[in-house]
Amino acid sequence: MIVLDPDLLRPDSTIILYTQLQPCHHSGDDDTQSDSRSCTERLLEWYEQEFQPRNITLSIECARLYKVMWQAETSDPEQTAGSEFSYHRSVQNARQGVQLIREAGIQMQMITEDGWVYLMSQVSRPKPKKRRRNQRMEDADSKSSTRTEQALGIDPDVWDRRMRCTQEMDEFLRNMAPVVLPSGSSR
């Protein structure tokens, strides 16, 4: 179990947790049924039991946000019930999960450029198709590659779209309004 690995749980260190999506928080289903799952609650328990006593800093870097950025035409759940946007409660729950993580002192952001380079260095990639020598030279001349694009072997246009999307999601996280938690609610 990773939680008990002494090589990973070094006192006074930082652990970066890379995730595809932000941890869920009762937000996996639509509002027609209740979702009892909360990865946020499990993560916070792990953080409180294993990280805080060792003074370990936890940072979560996400590839995407799920439901957190969704917008309804109205914020009134009564008006959205049964409509094409019947996810009001799960959107609020997803936002509440992000808020709980931040309130615990855990940093949460989108995967950084360095994070992507690190992650891509950990996976094998298919070998590029053979191209004519002059085709490679034309490709190199027509695209201005950054260090990251070269390291990842990624098309510059794809990388640019990924980075624009990441910046938009990071900005949303920075500016996200606090969620009003129901009275008496704890995690």
* Cα dihedral: 119, 121, 122, 128 (round 10): 110
Total domains in the chain come to: 1
CB atoms under 10 Å from CB of 127, counted, come to 6
Q: Give dist(CA 120, CA 125) in Å, integer.
A: 8
Q: Residue 183: inside a domain, yes or no?
A: no
Q: Is the pLDDT of residue 103 over 90?
A: yes
Residue 110, in any domain of the structure: yes
Residue 40 lies in a domain: yes
Q: Could you give the CA distance from residue 132 to residue 150 in angstroms, rounded to a whole number?
A: 19
Nearest to 176 by CA among 66, 65, 99: 99
Per the domain annotation, does 124 fall within a domain? Answer: yes
What does the pLDDT read at residue 29? 65
Residue pair 55/12 in contact (Cβ under 8 Å)? The answer is yes
On whether the CB atoms of residues 2 and 50 are closer than 8 A, the answer is no
Res 2 pLDDT > 60: no
Q: Which residue has the higher pLDDT, 62 or 1?
A: 62
Which residue carries 């936890």 as its tokens?
Answer: 58
pLDDT of residue 102: 93
Residue 184 domain-assigned (yes or no): no
**Predicted pLDDT of residue 62:** 94
154: pLDDT strictly greater than 70: yes
pLDDT at residue 110 tops 90: yes
pLDDT tens track for 18-72: 999 888 887 776 556 666 778 999 999 999 999 999 999 999 999 999 888 887 6
SS3 assignment, position 83: coil
Residue 65 lies in a domain: yes
Task: Please indicate, yes or no, if residue 15 is contained in any of the structural domains.
Answer: yes
Please give the share of the chain, as a percent, with pLDDT higher than 70.
67
Q: Which domain covers residue 34, as residue numbers? A: 2-175
In a domain, 10, yes or no: yes
